[in-house]
């Protein structure tokens, strides 16, 4: 059994152990990993992939998408407005809807044949200066505006909690926010804290290092 296969098996056990039969979507984060690594993940039955750059994703998945039509791609990194059109043609879900200007661009550019069908609003749950995202107190208003005024299909919330802090309280706050916003999906939890995230109600976890090992870069 390969290294990745072993890690995947362990992760699946942990997910099962904490999810109480709730379905959890595992998004394999393949940024900085090669097409070959993605192919191996596909051979293990992984179908959801996360990338944080539009161009890197397009290059890596162009051929894979032709032969693996059931793959789903998730954009998990910040999206510049000049890449919005390309992103809508490539990603099934965008997890980083984090500001008004981007929402307006997406609204202008989305068409029925766009690949993107759903959006997660990114919340700056730790109110960190260096991170993008809607602040918690404005999340409900932003979600309602995107959904009702712009007619974007907002399905959930996403967050990246502050590093070097216990994620639990941030995850619990996200769970509360999702209920306030009446949204069912929660994209939270990475390699170091995904079990905690599931315990707090995550529906989508995003795992890179835990599956594929250390990346050379962030």
Ligand X SMILES: *Cc1c(COP(=O)(O)O)cnc(C)c1O
One symbol per residue from 21 to 50: x for binding ligand X (CB under 6 A), - otherwise; what is it?
--------x-x-------------------
DSSP string, 60-128: HHHHHHHH-TT-EEEE-S---GGGHHHHHHH-SEEEEE-SHHHHHHHHHH--TT-S--EEEEEE-TT--
Q: Is 165 in the site for ligand X (CB under 6 A)?
A: no
By CB under 6 A, tell whether 207 contacts ligand X. Answer: yes
Of 77, 78, 89, 162, which lies in the binding site for ligand X, with binding defined by CB under 6 A? 77
Site residues for ligand X, window 82-141 (CB under 6 A)?
none
Measured at CB, which residue is nearest to ligand X? Answer: 208
> Which uninterrupted H or E stretch holds 39?
helix 35-43
Nearest approach in angstroms of CB 218 to ligand X is: 7
* Shortest distance, position 125 Cβ to ligand X, whole Å: 13
Count of Cβ atoms closer than 10 Å to residue 62 Cβ: 11
Q: How many CB atoms lie within 10 A of CB 55?
A: 11
* Site size with ligand X, rule: CB under 6 A: 13
Residues contributing to the site for ligand X (CB under 6 A): 29, 31, 52, 76-77, 160, 190-191, 206-210
């Amino acid at each position: 059994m390969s290294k990745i296969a072993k890690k995947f098996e362990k992760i699946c056990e942990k997910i099962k152990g904490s999810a109480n039969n709730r379905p959890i979507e595992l998004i394999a984060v393949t940024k900085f990993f090669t097409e070959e690594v993605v192919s191996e993940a596909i051979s293990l039955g992984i179908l959801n992939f996360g990338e944080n750059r539009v161009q890197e994703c397009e290059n890596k998945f162009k051929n894979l998408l032709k032969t693996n039509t059931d793959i789903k791609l998730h954009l998990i990194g910040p999206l510049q407005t000049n890449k919005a059109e390309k992103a809508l043609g490539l990603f099934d879900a965008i997890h980083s809807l984090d500001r008004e200007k981007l929402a307006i661009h997406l609204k202008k550019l989305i068409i029925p044949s766009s690949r993107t069908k759903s959006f997660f609003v990114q919340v700056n749950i730790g109110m960190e200066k260096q991170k993008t995202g809607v602040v918690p107190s404005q999340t409900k208003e932003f979600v309602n505006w995107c959904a009702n005024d712009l007619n974007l299909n907002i399905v959930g919330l996403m967050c990246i909690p502050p590093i070097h802090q216990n994620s639990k309280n941030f995850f619990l706050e996200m769970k509360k926010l999702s209920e306030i916003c009446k949204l069912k999906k929660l994209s939270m939890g990475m390699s170091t804290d995904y079990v905690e995230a599931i315990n707090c109600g995550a529906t989508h976890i995003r795992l890179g290092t835990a599956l594929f090992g250390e990346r050379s870069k962030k």
